[in-house]
Structure 1
Amino acid sequence: MKRFIQNIKNIWKVEELRKRILLTLSLILIYRIGSFIMLPGVNAEAVLANASQKNGDNVLESLLSMFSGGGFTNVSIMALGIMPYISASIIMQLLGMAVPAVQKMQNEGESGRKQINTYTRILTIIICAVQAPSYISLYASSIPGALPAEQTMLWWTTAVSCMVAGSMFAVWLGERITDKGIGNGISLLITVGILSRLPSSFIAEMAANKDFPLKIVLEIIVFMLIVLGTILIVQGVRKVPLNTAKRVVGARAVDEQGARNYLPLKVNASGVMPIIFAQAIMTIPVMIFSQQKDGGVIQYALGDTHGIPYNALLALLIIVFTYFYTAIMINPRKMADDLKRSGGFIPGVRPGDETAEYIDSLVSRITLPGSMFLALIAILPSIAYACNITSGFEYFFGGTSLLIMVGVVLDTLQQIESYLLNRHMDGLMEGSRVRGRRSINEMSSGF
């Protein structure tokens, strides 16, 4: 503990790191303030009264509000949050598989990346322009007395423009954090939005179980164990031994036997994306059937997000999407060609086709437990709900929110540790197995 406190002090001693952290906290504060600025003409009392009455009963509404940091239920200028940009990024990534022009831009290095970022921002504006009127007409208008009595064309134009500007401002804040601050800005904004709901959810859970303090302690222990397991899986890699070519320095070769390195294959290479894809698809039956109790057994079952049919189908979709997204992220043929060009090889495996087949078989084997883990994480909130954990607090026991929080915290710790190690200081997590200490030849994929 003493060493940990000393390492915290070391962070403040590094001027550049201190400035980056302060800038990051300042921009996050601006983002949080923006989530409470309501659209022009909206009745704040009606919105607050509606939020207190529902108290997280609508599952879909609670999820959207969590990812927007409360801006969704606040009918704020940042009601859409950062999610339109995430959707645009996913679309551009998928287009990179099918559209040759996008593939060409991806292979053009920095110039291509700038072009893709420009198209992503344009697509974000288009998505916002479509989602903003839908949000106002479907959600905001359902709150009694929230919107102005006379909704003129000028008001609609102003409201939609504010929402589009709010989302793009959130994107700008995220990019500034990435460039000038610490951590991945977009991911940090999502994480802050999720964590902002934790105190109120935990207080509600304590109030609901004030006569059973032992249950609260047990829930905290279980939550810590789930987080620990999530960290182990997120950080888990299958190290494939590599032999690289000898390096020639001057007139002699360094290391007669060749340098021994490792090719790390992540157990969870797809990250959180399969859960996002699966939940996006499952949102459709939730929206259609959640209110149709007389629409048949199948419709009612799929409309219940805590039911066994819904969660079974969700788990199946996550397993399928995990294999799909892993195939996008990892290209065994390209990896084999890169190894061959660099003079590296896997011991006992011939370079070329055999290496590609070997890597593909390894990826297929380690993807199965990774996909099953993601499926389990996704249905943990429903298991928590079945254990009488209050609505809202249950989402912190699994699902997308837990994976995002763990991934972002680990990524931020890696960057802080890199600053400390570059200045010959002990790392923030000295003695731990944080992947910030990985060798230079290891590869990883972020959120």
Structure 2
Amino acid sequence: MKEKTHLVRNRCLFSIVVILVYFLCHRIPLNGIDMSEYNNAGLDLGAILTMAVSGAGQKCYVMSLGISPYITASLLISILFAMRSKEARARTSPKAMNYWITGVCFVVALAQSIFYALSLKYVEKDLMSILVVIFELMAGASIAQYLLINNKKYGVGGFAPIIIVNMTESLIAILMKSSMDSLMIPLLISFVMVIIMVFMELHEKKIPLQRVSVHNVHAKKNYLAIKYNPVGFMALMFGSAIFMIPQLIVALIHHYHKSEIINFLYKNLNMSTVFGMRVYIVMLFVFTVLLSLLFVNPKDLSDDLLQGGDCIENIPAGKPTRRYIRKWVLFFSCLSGLIMCGCLSLCMYLQFKGIVDASVAMLPTTFMMLSGLLCSVYLEIRAYRDFDSYKPFI
């Protein structure tokens, strides 16, 4: 009899090695930077979204870009790919997609490196110092990308372990600096949000199916599953990138034309103002719904059922099936969007009203993201464990 593959053990060990290498490398300071200008600040929303993919709220480290260029490129290509027809997607090989992701990743990393390098505080700022920093930032992003890609191939969780390390490290630093009195309300809210998000991540809507090819005891176990949190925390992680689009447009208009409205938007369209946070929360909700409809595509799901001769119980095939699936996708995407946006709104309200200290106001959002990432890692490990438990008999 063939021995077990020990798939879970080997993949978990590989991810641990990746985490250790990343942990040792991601706090190497950039050459020529005045480190005294960079002291770790509190956890505002912008810092949370930055540290999730870069591992630091500051831009003074070699790996300050982190995995941001790669996952931004992956999201962009995935969205463009999902918008294509089903036939066009079938003709595109994974290798071709990887080429596109790598190309876009290089462009994003170069643009971010230049932007970061120009905004840093140097001991002696000159052209050579800026070029060296750009090269170091690009190198750090390449190393992070290499670790991420190999973890996706041979480890568990894809990019989740690296983000978990980033957020856990920053969380520990914040918790150690804060008093118990200032942590009471944020930790209570965090506890409630973790319970809600773990429930949504681990549960799914099971829509019973009638399959023409199954006529045995397992026929009643066939169903179409829609997760309560359809796209997880993808919208929250990449919402800041979407929010940058109107910011860049306003900044460009402000450079050439200054009016009362443009001046107001230029000063307030950021995550440190109430107005900016409100705009961000609305954009995040819409982005969550659109991503859900894009990646859990009702049209593709209904077409697959129709082509296979299968159907949802008591629902006619074709457009009625599509509308039925779209109804549930919209329901769960709106529900998850409302929960995430509600958590952000509550944190923002507590911060701006002075009820909770600004340094810990965003802890519930951080714990909410961490719980979702840990759930995704757990589900993947469980799938590998189930696969590893099979014992071949031939």
Moved more, 17-26 or 276-285: 276-285
Are the equivalent residues in 2 in contact too, given 1:319–1:375 (CA < 8 A)? yes
Determine the C-alpha separation between the residues in 1 that align with 2:44 and 2:380. 37
Aligned: 1:107 with 2:90? yes
Q: Are the equivalent residues in 2 in contact too, given 1:285–1:303 (CA < 8 A)? A: no
Where 1:322 maps in the other structure, the secondary structure is helix
Q: Which residue is 1:135 aligned to?
A: 116
Q: Which has the larger radius of gyration?
A: 1
Q: Which residue of 2 aligns with 1:244?
A: 211
SS of equivalent to 2:137: helix
| Residues 110-159 of structure 1: per-residue CA shift (max 9 Å, x gap) | xx111101210121111111111110112x1xx3xx3435433xx44433
How far is the alpha carbon of 1:348 from its aligned partner? 1.5
Give the counterpart of 1:93 among 57, 72, 78. Answer: 78
User: Which residue identity is paired with 2:278?
Assistant: A
- Pair 408,373 (structure 1): closer, same or farther in 2 beyond 3 Å: same
**3-state SS of paired residue (1:166):** helix
| Contact persistence 2:211–2:219 (CA under 8 A) | yes
Structure-2 residue corresponding to 1:405: 370
Matched, 1:224 2:191: yes
2:380 alignment partner in structure 1: 415
CA distance in 2, matches of 1:348, 1:203: 56
Matched with 1:148 is: 124
Q: Specify the SS of the correspondent of 1:264.
A: strand
Supply the AA of the counterpart residue of 1:317. M
1:64 corresponds, among 47, 50, 61, to 50
The alignment status of 1:274 with 2:235, answered yes or no, reads yes
Q: Distance in 1 between matches of 2:384 and 2:71?
A: 28
Note if contact 1:286-1:305 (Cα within 8 Å) is conserved in structure 2. no
CA distance in 1 between counterparts of 2:165 and 2:65 reads: 15
| SS of residue matched to 1:393 | coil
Task: State the Cα distance separating 1:75 from its structure 2 match.
Answer: 1.5
Q: Secondary structure at the match of 2:38?
A: helix
SS class of match (1:81): coil
Correspondence list, 1:330-369, <5 A: 330-369=296-335
Q: Which residue of 1 aligns with 2:177?
A: 204
Is it true that 1:169 corresponds to 2:143 in the alignment?
yes
Report Cα offsets for 1:3-52 as digits up to 9, x if no partner: xxxxxxxxxx9954333323212211211222221223x24xx31x2233
**Native 8 Å contact 1:275 1:378 kept in 2:** no
Residue in 2 that maps onto 1:189: 162
Q: CA deviation at 1:298?
A: 5.9
Deviations 1:81-137 (A, max 9, x none): 11111111122123225567x973x3147xx11110121012111111111111011
Q: Quick one: higher RCO (CA 8 Å, sep 6+), 1 or 2?
A: 2
RMSD: 3.4
Residue matched to 2:132: 158
Of 364-373 and 27-36, more deviation after overlay is shown by 364-373
Alignment partner, residue 389 of structure 1: 356
Contact 2:281 2:344 in 1 (8 A): yes
Cα distance in structure 2, aligned partners of 1:258 and 1:190 = 40
1:255-309 superposed Cα distances (whole Å, 9 cap, x missing partner)? 4x944422122232233233345433444677989xxxx99666655446352x3
- TM-score normalised per structure 2: 0.82
Measured at CA, do residues 193 and 348 of structure 1 come closer, stay the same or move farther in structure 2, by a change above 3 Å?
same
**Change over 3 Å in CA distance of 1:306–1:276 after alignment to 2:** same
Give the counterpart letter for 2:340 in structure 1.
L
Where structure 2 has 5 or more consecutive residues not aligned to the other structure, the ranges are 252-259
1:419 and 1:97 map into 2 onto residues whose CA distance is 27
- 1:50 maps onto 2:16 in alignment: no
Separation in structure 1 between the aligned mates of residue 387 and residue 243 of structure 2, nearest angstrom: 46
Q: 1:190 to 1:353 in 2, by over 3 A?
A: same
In the superposition, relative to structure 1, how do residues 403 and 283 fare at CA in structure 2: closer, same or farther (>3 Å)? farther
**Cα deviation 1:338-374 (Å, max 9, x = unaligned):** 1233332212111222212222233333333232123
